[in-house]
Amino acid sequence: MWIEGIGTFAPQDTRARKAWARVAAFVERTGQAAFSRDPHIGGHVTGSVFLLSPDTSAALLTHHVKLDRWLQPGGHCDGVTDVPFVALKEAYEESGLSRIRLIPDQVLDVDIHEIPANAREPAHLHYDIRYLAFAEVGEIAASAESNALAWVPLTQLEDYTQANSVLRLRAAARTMLDRRTK
């Protein structure tokens, strides 16, 4: 039931199929709590976007203040079970753009990663649901959560990050765009 608020996903490989199955099992087991920020249930669902420039040649990355790494915009659901909405809201908040078009019904990628323990919470998992989005209007402006924002040419993503979780978004976006144009 709760998985419907996430969207549909067409996994392209074994890693993606296993990740989707883990998300579905977690959401089924924990229900609405999966979308909370409660780390004591073992994790929570987050939403993010691979945000492409209007000409689709570059992706917007944010240099995250707390994590000190380049990532796609995204964040916590904070109890909202409409994950595409959360991903879009986070994209607006973190980019400064005034119009973004999201493909809301199709999940681009799923990434499950551990957040280390800190003074406030134990180690837990983020079940990050990623969507494809396109910048349409506005100038980028970093929020307080970012050290910087950059439009990174897709051919140069490796100059900003070596994280496979970010790099595979490029291939997933190309595949999704190819399917949508056929």
pLDDT for 153 equals 98
* Residue keyed to tokens 């908040």: 93
Contact 88, 102 (CB under 8 A): yes
132 contacts 106 by C-beta, under 8 angstroms: yes
Percent of the chain with pLDDT over 90: 81
Cα angle value 53/145/155 (rounded, 5°): 30
pTM recorded for the entire structure: 0.94
The residues with which 22 forms a beta bridge, in sequence order, are none
- The one-character DSSP state at 121 is S
Domain that holds residue 114: 2-181
8 versus 104: which is more confidently predicted? 8
The per-residue pLDDT for range 116-138, each reduced to its tens digit, is 898 988 999 999 999 999 999 99
Q: For residues 49 and 71, what is the distance between their CA atoms, to the nearest angstrom?
A: 10
| Per-residue pLDDT tens over the stretch 9-38 | 999 899 999 999 999 999 999 999 999 999
The count of domains in the chain is: 1
| CATH number where 24 lies | 3.90.79.10
* Percent helix / strand / coil, the chain, rounded to 5: 35, 30, 30
Residue type, position 111, single letter: D
Query: How far is the C-alpha of 65 from the C-alpha of 31, rounded, in Å?
Result: 31
